Structure 1
Amino acid sequence: MADNEVDAWMAAYDNPMKDVVERVRRIVLEADPRVGECIKWQAPTFTYRGNLASFFPRSRQHATLMFHKGALIPGEHPHLTGEGKEGRTMTFASVAEAEERRDELASIVAAWIALQDGA
């Protein structure tokens, strides 16, 4: 469910990738009604029993979603990149690319919820 705090942030967000960020936001929120959102670290952050992912709001070439503990998310997610101990990122160059990755994002959300629920 959308949060008014995030809606206000989006209304003030001045970036050429705003439409892409908004599309990714909607895809993540539509993936599961238990996913929440808030503003943390001066950016929209998705939550479910902890922080799932946050946008990097300053990128002007693509929208970047950083999965805080992405390395722990089970399953194959080909567009989730990174080599660090925990974090992983996914970038989106366009609204069309976000739509192409809708199923992958939904899979990531489902895997995170299952992990957090101990399933």
Structure 2
Amino acid sequence: MAKNVYKNDSEAVLKSISEMKPEYAALSKLIREAILESDHQIDEFIKWNVPAYFYKGDIKPFDPKEYKRDMLVFNTRQKDHILLILPTGAKLTNVENLLEGDYPDGRRMIKFHSEAEFLEKKSVFQQIIKEWISLVE
């Protein structure tokens, strides 16, 4: 089994969120809470200077370029939304067409424009997160 080399850094994630524009900070907090409450095997740290979420348990050995441990990374550089990047999102069921894009490398994206939109789609979002966890080998 491949050991987890990522280290939890919730303090850095919370600091990163607190430094966002207020409307993005509030939305990011809601997204963060929904991710972490979806499964106890999910953890967080900073990757590429933004919040990122990963599977913290043991998994079968894999090529690091397959990103099997990486669940989701925030992209906070958008003008009117938070973009969530799922490196292996193509393997997931696109419940209510929440996942966007058709990238050859298997990435899929999720966009949230507001807290209200997120709260409306929270249960579908958490279904996708739980499915991702269920597919970890």
TM-score, normalization by structure 1 = 0.87
5+ residue gaps, structure 1, are: none
Larger Rg belongs to: 2
Q: Does structure 2 retain, via aligned residues, the 8 Å contact 1:81–1:90?
A: yes
Over the aligned positions, Cα root-mean-square deviation in angstroms equals 1.8
1:83 to 102, 109, 119: 102
Q: Cα deviations across residues 68-113 of structure 1 (Å, max 9, x unaligned)?
A: 110022x232110111121101111110111111111111111111
Distance in 2, Cα, partners of 1:14 & 1:94: 13
What aligned pairs does 1:42-57 form with structure 2 within 5 A after superposition? 42-48=49-55, 50-57=69-76
Correspondence for 1:29: 36
Q: Residue 53 of structure 1 contacts residue 65 of structure 1 at CA under 8 Å; is this kept in 2? A: yes
Identity fraction in percent: 25
What is the distance in 2 between the residues matched to 1:38 and 1:111?
A: 21
Is 2:123 the counterpart of 1:103? yes
Q: Within 2, Cα distance between the matches of 1:82 and 1:65? A: 12
Is it true that 1:92 corresponds to 2:112 in the alignment?
A: yes
Unaligned runs of 5+ in 2: 1-7, 57-68
TM-score, normalised to structure 2, is: 0.76
